[in-house]
Amino acid sequence: MKQDSDTSTTLAEDKILILYILKKVGKPLSHKELLELILTVADINYFYFQQFLSDLLEDNYIAKCAENTDLYELTEAGSKSLELTLDLIPGITKLKIDSQFKKSFDSIQDKFSISAEYMPISEKEFIVTCKIIENHTDIFKLETYVGSKTQAGNIVSHWNKRAVEIYPQILELLTM
């Protein structure tokens, strides 16, 4: 595949953008968090994002925090590379990142700090898992079996909307 210089520059900008966002956050990000942050400021498709992530890992510009995790952090080599190439990111993109960053990051962190999902065990049995995650650690996790997909969906929906109210009530009931 032949690449023209504009395409190569765009690919380099997108890789540098990933490094810039990791530097800006200052702590490890999950794959989902990093992808959502990138998508708020750049028009990168998922497959290119995956390739960029792979390239950056291979070049040791980013690293996984631990084996078999999806938490990524900027390495010292990545930080040095970013310093040398930061000028490749257009000023308007940096401005967009800097102005939207706090809001987008807080929103994504909120989104990933409370989660619920269900999985079918059989046609009439489902397991529902409700979690509260803080700093990539489960601080609360509840699993329960239910007898219908509708009931599982309702639990997931209620947890995602009202976990802030439900969690303290559960703790109170458990400590009475």
* Interval 17-68: pLDDT, tens: 899 888 887 777 888 888 888 887 777 888 999 999 999 999 999 998 766 6
DSSP classification of residue 147: S
Fold of 5-89: Arc Repressor Mutant, subunit A (1.10.10)
Domain residue spans in the chain? 5-89, 113-175
pLDDT band at 101 (very low <50, low <70, confident <90, very high): low
Q: Which of helix, strand or coil describes residue 127?
A: strand
Phi, psi for 11 (deg, rounded to 5): -65, -40
**pLDDT-based confidence at residue 97 (cuts at 50, 70, 90):** confident
Counted residue by residue, the chain has a size of 176
The two structure tokens encoding residue 114: 């409370």
Residue 166 · residue 158 · CB < 8 Å: yes
Q: Rounded distance, CA 40 to CA 138, Å?
A: 26
Query: What crossing angle do the helices spanning 91-113 and 31-41 adopt, rounded to 10°?
Result: 140
Give the tokens for residue 160: 């995602």
Mean pLDDT over residues 67-96, rounded? 81
